[in-house]
Amino acid sequence: MSLLRQRFFVVLVVLVGMFIFFSLTQETFLTAANISAILTASSILWVASIGLTFVMLAGGFDLSIGSMLALCGIGLGWFVNQASMPIGLAILATVAMGLILGGLVNGVLIGRFGLSFLVVTLGSLILFRGLTNYWSQSKTEQVISPFLDNLAFGSTLGIPNPVWVMLITYGVMLYVQKFTFFGRDVYAVGGNVDAARLSGIRTSRTIVIVYALSGGFAALAAVLQDARIGAASPQVGENLVFSAAAAVLLGGTSFSGGVGGVTGTAVGVLFLGVLQNGLSVAGIESYWQQIITGVILIGAIALDFAQRKGLAGFTRRSPASASAP
What pLDDT, in 10s, does the model give residues 316-325? 444 443 333 3
For residue 184, pLDDT over 70 is answered with yes
CA distance 134 to 164: 34
User: Which pLDDT score is estimated for 315?
Assistant: 45
User: Which pLDDT score is estimated for 290?
Assistant: 80
Overall average pLDDT of the 109-135 stretch: 96
For residue 69, pLDDT over 80 is answered with yes
**Average pLDDT value for the chain:** 91
Buried b or exposed e, range 196-211, using 16+ CB within 10 angstroms: beeeebebbebbbbbb
CA distance 283 to 181: 48
User: Which pLDDT score is estimated for 324?
Assistant: 35
Phi, psi of 137 (to 5 degrees): 55, 30
Label residue 273 by pLDDT band (50, 70, 90): very high
For residue 50, pLDDT over 80 is answered with yes
Q: Which residue has the higher pLDDT, 264 or 287?
A: 264
Contact predicate 147/87, CB 8 Å: yes
Which of 76, 120, 110 has its CA nearest to residue 218?
76
Contact predicate 242/45, CB 8 Å: no
Low-confidence winner among 7-16, 25-34, 193-202, 309-318 (lowest mean pLDDT): 309-318
Contact predicate 37/282, CB 8 Å: no
CA distance 22 to 58: 36
Label residue 7 by pLDDT band (50, 70, 90): confident
Strand partners, 232: 141
For residue 309, pLDDT over 80 is answered with no
Question: Which residues, in sequence order, are CB contacts of 202 under 8 Å at separation 6+?
Answer: 185
Label residue 295 by pLDDT band (50, 70, 90): confident
Question: Which residues, in sequence order, are CB contacts of 127 under 8 Å at separation 6+?
Answer: 64, 67, 105
User: Which pLDDT score is estimated for 313?
Assistant: 56
Amino acid at 160: P
Question: Which residues, in sequence order, are CB contacts of 135 under 8 Å at separation 6+?
Answer: 71, 74, 75, 78
Model pTM?
0.91
Label residue 283 by pLDDT band (50, 70, 90): confident
Contact predicate 258/59, CB 8 Å: yes
Contact predicate 128/67, CB 8 Å: yes
The percent of residues above 70 in pLDDT, for the chain, comes to 92
